[in-house]
Amino acid sequence: MSREKVTILDLQQMKERGEPITMITAYDYPSGILAEQAGVEMILVGDTLGMVVHGFESTVQVTMEMMILHCAALHRAKGNYFVVGDMPFGSYEIEPRHAVRNAIRLMQEGFVDAVKLEGGREMAATVRAIVDAGISVHGHIGLTPQSVSKLGGFKAQGKTGAAAKKLLDDALALEDAGCFAIVLEAVPDRVAAAITERLRVPTIGIGAGAGCSGQVLVWHDMLGLFDRFTPKFVQKYGDAGQLITDGLSTYVKQVKSGEFPTAAHSFTIKEAEWQNFQRLLNEPDHE
């Protein structure tokens, strides 16, 4: 059964009535189709695609071109979820006008409904500039993978009273600048809940406990498709990696043994045409 397109208004109302929002990362056409069938409300075309799809060590190498390619592929699935596209490292930090130009590209060429960028108060002017250009912005604070080297690694954030207060101030500054939602990544659950209570806009948690307005997980982590490193906060909901390896191994075995393909997978030729072919094979070639 198809549903209406999810809007920012729907997400806001979900927060207000306490209905948890579901978000999942997805990076291409088949994933979009599956996510729509599952009824997910929000898709994040996250720059995690640099790690889980392209095999980079971090998200820092992801470019605008990569983001646009994946956003456009996801768009072709025509799901009714709300789509957020990540602004990659280097696409929004230089100055607000540069950020606005790149956000416009993600909308026009990637067909996203909103863009997401990482950072707190220091990004408020940039968020405001993008929002003023008519583009919805999703914030992201806590563990911000694009600045992982500055943070000293993939570590939980907001673990002291002062750090937790700074996170709250960052969240309030982003809300004030016009963000319609904010990702809280790797933040103690009580801190995330306290931030969520003080914001009007929804929070989407990843490793931030059940007190957020919604949850997001990375597709490849939750479905067993990326085993190089699994954060503590990942719940595995299936082992698609094992399923795919089993299928591929059986395929290799069956081709080697001659079990595949069978007549059922083959095309036929009419007997008369076959005889015609045989006759042509036996005729000497004419110069």
Catalytic residue at 185? yes
Q: CA 225 → CA 52, 228, 237, 243, 274, distances in Å?
A: 8, 9, 11, 10, 47
Residues numbered 76-105 forming contacts with ligand KIV, rule: CB under 6 A = 86
Catalytic choice (36, 118, 175, 185)? 185
Stretch that binds ligand KIV, among 41-49, 102-110, 123-131, 165-173 (CB under 6 A): 41-49
User: Smaller CB distance to ligand KIV: residue 48 or 157?
Assistant: 48
Residues numbered 242-271 forming contacts with ligand KIV, rule: CB under 6 A = none
User: Smaller CB distance to ligand KIV: residue 14 or 226?
Assistant: 226
The contact mask relative to ligand KIV for 171-210 (x = CB under 6 A, - = no) is ------------x-x--------------------x----
Residue 140 bridge partners (DSSP): 119, 183
User: Smaller CB distance to ligand KIV: residue 46 or 110?
Assistant: 46
Stretch that binds ligand KIV, among 39-47, 77-85, 98-106, 124-132 (CB under 6 A): 39-47
Name residue, tokens 């009580």.
190
Angle value at C-alpha 180, between 105 and 157, nearest 5 degrees: 100
Residue 85 bridge partners (DSSP): 45, 115
Q: Which of 72, 77, 216, 225 binds ligand KIV (CB under 6 A)?
A: 216
Name residue, tokens 């929004």.
92
User: Smaller CB distance to ligand KIV: residue 44 or 173?
Assistant: 44
Q: CA 179 → CA 70, 206, 234, distances in Å?
A: 23, 18, 26
Per DSSP bridges, beta strands 136-142 and 214-217 are unpaired
Total of residues contacting ligand KIV (CB under 6 A)? 12
Find, among 279, 212, 201, the residue nearest to 20 by Cα: 212
Phi-psi region of 206 (alpha: psi -120 to 50; beta: other; left: phi over 0): beta
Positions marked active-site: 185
Interface with ligand KIV by CB under 6 A: which residues? 25, 44, 46-48, 86, 140, 183, 185, 206, 216, 218
